[in-house]
Each structure stands twice: as structure tokens, then as C-alpha cells.
A and B are shown apart, each in its own frame.
Chain A
Amino acid sequence: MKARTARTRTARSRTAAALVGGLVVLATALVPWAAASAADSSGQGDAPEGKALETLSTCVADGGRLLVVLLVDESGSLQQTDPDDVRVSAAKTALTGLSDLATSTTNAPEVDVLVSAFSYDFQRVGEWTPLDVETLPELTDSVGTLAARDNGMDTDITHALDGAREALSERAVEVTGGQNGTGGNDKVCKAILLFTDGRYDIGYRGTPELVDQFGDSKDYAPGIVLDSRASAAKARAAGVKELCRPGGVADQVRADGISLLTVPLTAQLRLRDEAFLSAVTTGKGLRATCGERDGTDTGVYVPAGDVVALVRAFDSVATQIAGGTPTGGPTTLTVCQGDPCEQGTIEVAVDESLRAVHLFASLPDGKVALSLDAPSGGDPLEVPAGKGTTTTYGGATVVVRRPDAKALTIDITPKAGGDATGTWKATFVTPEGGKGGKAIVQAFGFTDLEAVLTDTPPVRAGQPVPLRAKIVRAQGSDASSIIDSATVTATVTDPVSGRRVEVPLRPDGKEYVGTYAAPASLTSSLVEVVLRLRATTTDGVALTSTSPAESLATRRPPGYPQIGPARLALTAVTGEGEATADLVAIAGDGPAGGCVWVGPADVRAAPADAAPVVVGVIGTGRTKAACVRPAKGTPLTVEVTMTPADRASGTVSGTLRVWSASAAGAPVATDVPFEFEMTRGVDTAKQITLAVGLLVAGIALPMLLLLAMNAVSIRFQAVDKVRGAVVPVVVRRNGEVVRVGEDGRRDQLSLFGSDFESLSGAGHRRRFTWAGLVFSVRTSLNPFAAGYAVATPEGGAADVAKEGRRVELDLGLAGSWVFLYDQDQTNAASMRILGEVPAHDPPPEIHGRLVAFVAEGPVAPQTARMIDDVATRLPSTANRLDGLARDARRG
């Protein structure tokens, strides 16, 4: 079979589109896993076609930076529907495909990828990452983590798409610096590749753990607590409503110009769920709709019902975006057994008009080998069953991949200076005695040829516009020498009214000419022209191509001021603020030059929170009465501001009406398309408040927790395990401490076993009373300090200072002692020795009682240590208490 048709694009178009195609390749890899059991080589459903792919392809071809969100289901149902983690392998394959495409050409556009997952909410798995060979392993690892993520609750497509949409908006603002839409490096193309195993689902939270992990409510279902199946069903209904209502999430995705490619992960999807997913993607499904915006320009739903069709469909999508075109319908071959044969061979012609050839084959099983013959002769390239290869062969780079056991792709890219032209033969062979069967092959061709406008004539409402085009190669060189016959058609689109007009261009020498009759009602500041080429080369290869859209500015009638630019790209809005851009008005012909004013804006798409968008103008008025005249030779600059109502993420687009008037004629309206990105950004005040709050909480909470732990756990040593003794003692002025016997005799300080009695029954472990003292536990205000005990005289001690009324002692009572100061005895001793109680000097003796505690058991070893401590520290304690008592007397 000969490759008779091919679609052409510019090199930029091909390259950019090739990157997008990687998305499809990635999805292709996913398909086999999705329903391997359903593999049927005979299934060749129609490939997904439509404007959506052209929209994305045109955007990328126009120099846009491709932003891709891989949005992968992580709901718990995957444990049944995808036990082999097909989704992970699929996403990895997609990344590889994207990386290959992004780096395979010299003019490749940039591709940024965000790996994400969703169940109850949108979850970023990594950060936005520019895709190249260096970042591919990192992204692949990131995707690999999705294998363990199959226990999420819900399949909340509303949150998933809204999260992905916001992520795309934020990234768009980051990479364009807020200048999206200005073309070149400042233009972005957004895509979401959605992998899900089925129906929109909200589960009820049956346990506290589920509530902690997944929350018990949905923001789109206020007042509904997910504590029963009935409430979960209500929340689901609310979620679907939020997704599909006019202006809802689905509409916002479309309004943002996001290409949504939806891939169901299972072949067992219920019909109504499939219809719903299709409706979410394109706006319409089988007896289902979603949103009021038409999604066919942005959505591609790739059903999983037929695995082979799905694989082929994705390959077809990839090829179209990459600039290829099918060379007719699929070809069914009989796989050769043992040796190559004619029935198992497909022939593909390659001439100088072709940049590359791509073949996709669905195979009967995984035991089919490939034998590839180049036109230059020599040994064929043998690729064993189950294997792929990348090599140089026959003057071309040949890449053979097997995205699945039953799928194979062949890419033949002629090398510069190589002799790859002629007929290539690909033969499919199974081992002798093997199963044989049918192989279905689809061939695609890529060329460098396209039609371009040779000039960009101005457009005036109600007047004919001459269109002239020529056929060129990617480098811009004339291609007429290799064209045998061709037809060129221009499609002129009014972006304001949406009206499209087909203008056939007839041959005129080496050019093709035609006339576009601009309607008198045309108000748009521009029209977009797309050229479609159908040509046959001198070698007999039929080609088709679609050029990127080119804008032609409309002009106001003579005597009226001219308005520019034709498309208004405003600065992005991050958080709160306004988007701005400058309009320029140039005085019209004639002595008056006319005047201009700015009318209202027609906001056609905006995030819900952004509406209404308030338009402001500096430099001219808003009514005819406030019209401003541009000076002759000096353009009038008009600053346009657009202020959204609130923070939001998404794209705001529409048209701004600008009026111009001349001295003689009626005012003329010009509708200028505008667009700007919004991202919620960060609420700085809230951010700082939260940070401070978290910091304080992070320190204060554990402190409070420590205090609480201290308060709860503090207690004495068990009092029934403790014995106490009360011994009268005297502290002499020289610091000697002596014991006073019952008979008044004074002996060396000592403690005997007979002095001690059990504290059993004195109280409990937080408070007890013994020897005229009340002992109670206290928690330190220092959370790092140990607790302590307080001993206060039973009934209080009114004539001593506070310091003397309370003492601290360790909670482990055994080994502790307390000195009870006896002021009466001390004064009596002073009277007896000095004849008076000294007011300022220390008394000759200080009397009191030593209260000591030991643990049950042998006393001597415990008191030996205690006696030394008492002798050392008690004198100073006694003197301090006596000083306090004297202070109390004096004052």
C-alpha cells in the first residue's frame, strides 16, 4: 500500500504539536492495561476527531508553551478496577513519549508537566516541572508514587478539574509573567489528561478516621454532613450540579481554553457513567449534558470500551497534533508464519515531501516480530517479538516501540543527506507453527509543506479583502517545483460573532488568490485566517495541511481613528488587583481626525468569583460626550484596566467595545478581543497571621500540654510507705544543732528508729496532714521543672511572713526534712539567757522541731545521710525564719 496522503505543517507546528502528541502516546500506553481482556484486534473504532485537537495543535503550533496536568484517579475502587497499576505505567509511558517528542526536533516548544492525583480532592504529587531528558526520571519517579495511591475516598471530578484548572492558571501566570496571549514565548496552551476509573462518586464517612482523613463535608454541598449514604448521595448530586451548571467547573475549564482529554481506566464503565464523563469532557454525552459552553473545541473523550480502538485512537490523536495524517484507512494483514510473506507486508512510500512516516499496528498477540525493509536494499531490520529498538537504518532514524504486547509503532524519520526515499516494507511475522492471526496497520505521513499568506491585507467592513497565498516548505522556500496540483482554501473566522467563511483560492501562477467579502456588520478588530492545503506531489503523494491561524486587523472607515492592537492582552492578576493594557488610537484621515471613547466590555468567560469585572479607562472618556481626539501624528494611548470582583483563578476573556467617530459619519464600533489570567495567589496578611499563629501554637501548645501532664500526674510518694519523726532541736548561735530530749537534756543531733511513726492514714497522695502541718502537691509554672510539695502549718501562721509559712519539699518524701520554727520557745530562751528578746541581733538559741521522713524499712542508713544534711543547712534556715519572725514583730 502506498502512503498517498499526508497532512503538512510548518516545522514549528509539527514540533509543537509533536509534544502534545506525547500526551496521546502516554495515554495510549494506558489503554492496554485498562482492559487487556477486551483486546480485540478487529476492533477499529473511529479515531477521536474534531476541533479540540485542532485547537490544541494550533495553539502549540503558534508558539505556545504547553502546560500539561496529568490528573490520575486515586480512589479506592482502583484496587478492583486497576490492580496492576496500569494507570502508573500509562502515565510513565506518556511522560516518555512527551519527552521524546519535546527533544526530538530543534524547534520544540517547552512542555511543563504537573503530576497530580485526585479522589476526595485535587492533590499535587509534585511540582510543575519543565519536561526534558534530565527531569524525566524525576517525573517518572513522581508518577511511580501513584501506584501506592489507591485507597482514596470519592471520585470527586468537580474538585479534580477545578484544582487542575487553578494549577494551570497559576502556572500560566508564572511562566508568562502575566502576559499570556501576547504570542511567542508568552503564550501558553493548557491541557488536562484525566485518567479515571469511572463514575463520579462520593462516599460516606463511616468512621472518625475517615472523617479525619477525608473531611465530612464538601464545599459545594453546604450543610450536608457525609455521615450516611443518603447524605453522600446528596453531596454527589450537589457536586455534579456544581460541575455542570452554567458557569460551573466544566464551563470554566472550557472558558479557560483548557484541552481536556478524558481516558476512562476501565472497560466495565456503565453506560450512563460513560455518557456523563463524555458530557463533562465535550459538553454532550449520550442523553447527558454538562455545562452550557460547547466543549467540542476543547474536549476529547477517548472511550475505553474497545481497547484496540482506544489505542489506535490515541495514536491517531497524537499523530494529528504532531502534524501527521492517515494515509487512508487501516490495512488488515495476515501475519506471516515462519518467514516474511506478501500477505503480512505493508508498503509505505517516502518522498522528499515527507518529513516522517508513522505506523501503528495492533497485533494478534505478543509473539509477533517485525521485519523492516528500506528502499536502499540490504539486510532487513529485524525486531524480535516483544522488543523495540532505536537505530539508524536505510538512511533514516527508525524507532520501534511496543506500548503494549499487542501494539507496535514504527517511526521512520529520513536523515538529512540519507537515501530514504522510495518504498519501505514492514512485515509482521510470527514463529512457525504460531497462532498467526490478523494485524491491523494504520500509516501516517508528515510533510513540511503548507500554504501561507503572502501578505496581510487590512480588512474593512463591507469591502472585499484580497487573499493571496503560496505553498512553501517549512523553511519558507518555494515548494512549487514538487507540487503537481493543489487546492488552497482559506477559512476566515470573526472571533466576535463566531461566523466562519470558506474562501476558495484559485491558482494564479505560483500563488493562489481569492477574495473575502467582509460583512458590513463586522465589528471585530480582527479576523483569523486558516489556510488548508490539499496537494499532490510530483511523485504522486497526496498531501493535506492546515496552517496556524493568522490574524488580519480590521480598519475603520477613512476619516475615523484607527484602533490597535487588534487583540488586547492584559497583565495577569495575582490575588487582588487589576489587569491593565494599553490601547492606541491614531487620528483618522481628514482635518478633524475623529475621536474615540471606550464602551462596555462583554466578558464572555471568567471564573465565578471574578465576576463582575469592572472596566476602567484612563486617557479617554466612556461616552461620546467625553470622546477624546487623537492629535495628528501623535497616537493617543488609552490605559484600560479590568478589576475582578474577587480573588480567583482562571482566564477572563471577552471583547471590549471601542467607539470611534468622525466629523461626518456615525460612530463606528470596534470590538477588541481581550484576555487575561487570574490566579488567587497568596493572601499575604492571612499568610503572615497563619504563620505567626502556627509558630505560637507550635510552642505554646506543647508547653500547655506539659503543664497539664504535670498537673495530672503530680503526687506524693505513697504515704503509707513513709514514716515520719518530730524531734525538738535547738540551733545555737555558733550554728551547732542539738537534740532536746523529753527531759530537756540536750544531746548531739541524732534520729532513732523509735522516733519515727507511720504516716498511714494521714491523707492521700496529693494532700495529707501530719505533725500539725498540711502537705500538698504543687505544679511548677515552669513546664520543664519538676513538681514540688508545699507544707503549711495547720491553721496557718499569721505572725510570720509568707515566706515562712510555706516551704517546698520534694515529692519523694523519704529522705526529706522540715524545720518548724518555735518563736515562743526561742523568745523564752532569749529571756532566760539575755534577760530580753533582742530586737535586731540574732537570739542566742533558736528553738524548733525537726520533722523528718524516711521510707519504711531500716532507718539508720537513711538517717545517717539526713543528719549530715540537717547539720549543714538547718542553721541558716533557722536564722532566716527567726529573721522573718523578728521582721514581723517590728512591723
Chain B
Amino acid sequence: MTAPAVQAPAASGTTGPPVLYLVLGGVSVLTSIGLLMVGTMTANVVGYLLASVLPILSVGLFRKVDLRRRLGLDYRPRPGVDRFVPIVLVAGVLTAILHIWPIATELAS
């Protein structure tokens, strides 16, 4: 009888974490914050999507790509990049809440 066991890391050829995804998430949140100043329903809906959906998607993609790249021999970690992930997510959720309230108020009026 045989049983399979563990694997070894795969080789790939990237050089570091995909910061671009994180930047995309951050820009999305900042844009959403800017839309708070506009105050219209449309701005709130767009801001809500920018603050909730895009940051999570971009962070998710960042994680996936980063994990894959970490398996490569040429991966060069960049300390500190990871700490921006919760910042982007928390800022996104908080900003989304600020958009959600006026949207809910408008719809409940």
C-alpha cells in the first residue's frame, strides 16, 4: 500500500510581491473618500463599490499572486508591504460604511 505525502516548492521567475494590486486597492479607497465630498446618490453608490468591492478584489489578487510568486526562487520579499493590506481593507470598509449610510437613508426615504 502506498500513500502520497508532501510536496516541494515550485520554481517560478518573479521578483517580488505584486504591489500594483495593492496600489490599485489604495487608489480605489482614496477615490471613494473623495466621492464622499460630492454627496450625491450616484457618487455614494460609486464610492461604495470603490470602497468595498475593488479593495477586496485587489487584495485578494495581491494575495494570490504573491503566494504564487513566493514559491519561486527569484522571489525577493519586501518587508512592510503586507502591513498595507489591513490598512487598505479597513479603510475600505470604513469608507464603504460612510457611503452606505446616505444610500440607505435615501432608499429608506
Contacts and interface: CB of A to CB of B under 8 A. Distances in A.
A816 B10 contact: yes
Contacts of B103: 690, 694
Interface in B60-96: 60-61, 63-64, 67-68, 71, 73, 93, 96
B4 A807 contact: yes
A694 B71 contact: no
A848 interface: yes
Given A683-B108, A784-B63, A815 B10 contact: yes
B11 A815 contact: yes
**Chain A interface, >50% SS class:** mixed
A873 interface: yes
B107 A690 contact: yes
Interface centre among B11, B63, B93, B103, by most chain A C-beta atoms within 10 angstroms, is B11
B37 to A, nearest CB: 12
A812 B75 CA distance: 15
B56 A699 contact: yes
Given A706-B60, A784-B60, A785-B63, A822 B1 contact: yes
B20 interface: no
B11 A820 contact: no
B59 interface: yes
A822 B59 contact: no
Interface in A664-710: 680-684, 686-688, 690-691, 694-695, 697-699, 701-703, 705-706, 710
Interface in A766-799: 772-773, 783-786, 791-793, 797, 799
Contacts of B57: 702, 705-706
A805 interface: yes
Chain B's interface size range is 35 or more
Contacts, number: 170
B10 A698 contact: no
Contact of B104 (A687, A702, A706, A806): A687
Given A699-B56, A812-B10, A812-B12, A687 B5 contact: no
Interface string A866-885: 10011001100110110011
A393 interface: no
A804 interface: yes
Contact of B53 (A680, A701, A773, A785): A701
Nearest to B57: A702
A808 interface: yes
Contacts of B51: 698
Given A812-B71, A865-B73, A869-B9, A792 B2 contact: no
B48 A698 contact: yes
A792 B3 CA distance: 8
A682 B106 CA distance: 8
A686 B39 contact: no
B4 A793 contact: yes
A792 B5 CA distance: 9
A803 to B, nearest CB: 9
Given A785-B63, A793-B2, A808 B104 contact: no
A814 interface: yes
A873 B6 contact: yes
Nearest to A812: B10
Contacts of A855: 11
Given A690-B103, A690-B108, A870-B8, A820 B52 contact: no
Contacts of A823: 1-3
B67 A785 contact: yes
A571 B1 CA distance: 86
A703 B96 CA distance: 15
A326 to B, nearest CB: 43
Given A791-B4, A816-B8, A820-B4, A686 B53 contact: no
Interface centre among B1, B4, B71, B100, by most chain A C-beta atoms within 10 angstroms, is B4
A691 B1 contact: no
Contacts of A812: 10-12, 68, 71
A120 B65 CA distance: 45
A609 interface: no
Contacts of B9: 810, 815-816, 869
A800 interface: yes
B67 A800 contact: no
A862 interface: yes
B100 A698 contact: yes
A821 interface: yes
A267 interface: no
A877 to B, nearest CB: 4
A572 B39 CA distance: 27
A383 interface: no
Given A699-B52, A814-B10, A797 B109 contact: no
B40 interface: yes
Contact of B10 (A799, A813, A819): A813
Nearest to B89: A699
Interface string B23-53: 0000000000000000110000000100111
Contact of B4 (A686, A784, A819, A885): A819
A171 interface: no
A483 interface: no
B109 A807 contact: no
Contact of B56 (A706, A791, A793, A866): A706
16 contacts: A681-B109, A687-B105, A694-B100, A773-B4, A786-B67, A793-B2, A797-B3, A804-B5, A810-B9, A812-B11, A812-B71, A814-B11, A817-B8, A818-B7, A819-B5, A881-B5
Interface of A: 124, 127, 680-684, 686-688, 690-691, 694-695, 697-699, 701-703, 705-706, 710, 717, 772-773, 783-786, 791-793, 797, 799-800, 804-824, 848-849, 851, 855, 862, 865-866, 869-870, 873-874, 877-878, 880-881, 884-885
